[in-house]
């Protein structure tokens, strides 16, 4: 049996995990999976990373091009991330006839089509299970096990950082800033948390999932993303009083007028399977016309979980090399479904605002909602001694256009101090 040789670019968090899995189990793969796979060449900008991992000097280079041009290498693992150098390296590796395994969600969510086409024209594999949900198998189940379904929706908690923060805010009443500081202390959030807390990370992931689930390319810039910065522990406890959890959901649904796709904090019933996914865990909930409801749960980040998915892909590609069937499942984006404007979204809304505590205020706010055809399902008013009162409205189903138009009028009413949080309420 020929040994499939693998080169690894990027010895950071996930890269170290890949090295660790090969050190632990490299010898087991023949027995477990029927292939001989060896990790033989390593690239990083920092030679210290290689030393720390106990890699031989001969196996290491700072020059990624050397690895890509090395005729011994069958599979290149790209773990440097981003859409700059990573894109060039991945395209170069594919055009050099090497299969590529990557965890790069930004690349796949932005240049997915280019990368898939490059793999197809070279007759090699591109695999990217680790780009969504860390170690959770989700891309392969969608492309294989669930392929007989028309998938009607895919939605998930796909960002562990924000889910950890929301869990802490819900369980201990922490505010946004304390929750963020705690997540940073524990290593769950970056020094610059923008990509996580503003929903960009989740937007990349849901665009990848939607492209596969609906057979139609969706790119990251198609996805309206709203993060969790404006959420207060008060919002979460109002939601809980009403029987809802607040989660940062990435949602994609197939509708008659195109793909509805978005990322935002969402109120979901406590009884929904996603509501009890807490801490850094991720879960992806998939509904298909035959399978019904399914959910895939696990650790969405971290060195070894993500490396589990990367090495799983490597072994699968190695099986294809062994059996001469590279390119077994290529790009399946064969439709061109439109992406709906989020303004056309129709759902229920939670709206919190601060108003003057004075007669007639509720009536004047309610009139504006009414003028825009937005009807109210419930109102909670909490008055302290202050001259202002906090009011929480939950609307019946309305379009986002109508709700935003109403809010822009309400915002400038004399009696309204400020508009706080707006949350979509999904019953599913």
Enzyme catalytic residues: 205
Q: What is the 3-state secondary structure (H, E, C) of 236-266?
A: HHHHHHCCEEEEEEEEEEEECCEEEEEEEEE
User: Nearer to its own copies by C-beta: 281 or 369?
Assistant: 281
At 90 the three-state DSSP class reads: helix
Beta carbon of residue 225, minimum distance to its own copies (angstroms, whole number): 26
For its own copies, the binding residues in 245-274 under the rule CB under 8 A are: 273
Residues 183-202 close enough to bind its own copies by CB under 8 A:
none
Binding-site member from 292, 360, 385, 414 for its own copies (CB under 8 A): 292
For 259, residues 6+ apart whose C-beta sits below 8 A from its C-beta are: 210, 214, 216, 218, 252, 253, 337, 338, 339, 340
Site track for its own copies across 306-345, x = CB under 8 A: -xxx-xx-xxx--xx--xxx-xxxx-x-xx----------
Distance in angstroms (rounded) separating the CA atoms of residues 104 and 208: 11
Q: Distance of CA 147 to CAs 70, 120, 151, 213, 352, Å? A: 36, 20, 9, 9, 42
In contact, 103 and 309? CB cutoff 8 Å: yes
DSSP state of 337: P
Q: How far is the CB of 113 from its own copies (least distance, A)?
A: 16
* Segment contacting its own copies by CB under 8 A, of 8-16, 103-111, 138-146, 409-417: 138-146
Residues 113-132 that bind its own copies (CB under 8 A): 129
Select from 25-33, 74-82, 105-113, 240-248 the region that touches its own copies (CB under 8 A). 25-33
Residue 288 binding its own copies, by CB under 8 A:
yes
> Would you say 112 or 135 has its CB closer to its own copies?
135
- Residues that contact its own copies, how many (by CB under 8 A): 61
What's the rounded Cα separation, in Å, for the pair 281 and 366? 40
Residues between 348 and 407 that touch its own copies (CB under 8 A): none
| 293 near its own copies, rule: CB under 8 A | yes
CB atoms within 10 A of CB 214: 24
The residues, any chain, with a CB within 8 Å of residue 109's CB and separated by 6 or more, are: 131, 203, 204, 205, 207, 208, 219, 220
Of 101-109, 182-190, 239-247, 301-309, which segment contacts its own copies by CB under 8 A? 301-309
Q: Does 210 bind its own copies (CB under 8 A)?
A: no
Q: How far apart are CA 252 and CA 256, in angstroms?
A: 13
**Alpha-carbon torsion angle 418, 425, 108, 163, nearest 10:** 80
Q: Which residues in this chain contact its own copies in the complex, by CB under 8 A?
A: 17, 21, 24-25, 28-29, 31-34, 129, 135-137, 140-141, 144-150, 215, 273, 276, 288-299, 302, 304-305, 307-309, 311-312, 314-316, 319-320, 323-325, 327-330, 332, 334-335
């Amino acid at each position: 049996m020929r040994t499939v040789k693998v080169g690894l670019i990027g010895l950071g968090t996930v890269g170290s995990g890949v090295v660790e899995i090969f050190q632990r189990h490299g010898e087991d793969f023949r027995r477990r999976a029927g292939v001989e796979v060896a990790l033989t060449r390593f690239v990083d900008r920092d030679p210290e990373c290689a030393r720390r991992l106990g890699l031989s000097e001969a196996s290491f280079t700072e020059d990624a091009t050397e690895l890509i041009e090395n005729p011994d290498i069958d599979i290149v693992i790209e773990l440097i991330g981003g859409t700059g150098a990573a894109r060039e390296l991945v395209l170069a590796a594919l055009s050099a006839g090497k299969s590529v395994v990557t965890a790069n969600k930004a690349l796949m969510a932005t240049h997915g089509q280019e990368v898939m086409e490059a793999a197809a024209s070279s007759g090699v594999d591109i695999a990217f299970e680790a780009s969504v949900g860390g170690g959770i198998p989700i891309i392969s189940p969608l492309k294989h096990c669930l392929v007989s379904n028309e998938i009607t929706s895919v939605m998930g908690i796909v960002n562990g950082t924000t889910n950890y923060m929301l869990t802490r805010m819900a369980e201990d009443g922490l505010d946004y800033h304390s929750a963020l500081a705690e997540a940073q202390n524990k290593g769950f959030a970056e020094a610059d948390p923008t990509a996580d807390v503003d929903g960009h990370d989740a937007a990349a992931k849901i665009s990848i999932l939607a492209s596969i689930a609906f057979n139609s390319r969706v790119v990251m810039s198609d996805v309206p993303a709203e993060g969790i910065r404006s959420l207060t522990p008060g919002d979460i406890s109002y939601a809980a009083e009403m029987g809802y959890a607040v989660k940062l959901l990435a949602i994609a649904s197939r509708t008659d007028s195109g793909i509805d796709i978005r990322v935002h904090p969402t109120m979901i019933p406590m009884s929904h399977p996603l509501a009890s996914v807490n801490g850094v865990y991720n879960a992806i909930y998939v509904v298909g016309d035959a399978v019904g409801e399914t959910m895939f749960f696990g650790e969405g980040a971290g060195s070894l979980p993500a490396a589990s998915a990367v090495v799983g892909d490597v072994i699968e590609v190695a099986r294809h090399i062994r059996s001469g069937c590279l390119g077994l499942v290529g790009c399946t984006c064969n439709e061109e479904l439109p992406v709906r404007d989020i303004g056309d979204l129709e759902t229920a809304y939670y709206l919190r605002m601060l108003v003057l505590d004075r007669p007639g205020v509720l009536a004047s706010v309610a009139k504006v909602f009414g003028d825009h055809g937005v009807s109210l399902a419930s109102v909670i008013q909490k008055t302290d001694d202050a001259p202002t009162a906090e009011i929480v409205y939950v609307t019946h189903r309305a379009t986002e256009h109508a709700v935003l138009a109403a809010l822009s009028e309400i915002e400038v009413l004399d009696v309204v101090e400020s508009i706080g949080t707006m949350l979509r309420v999904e019953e599913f």
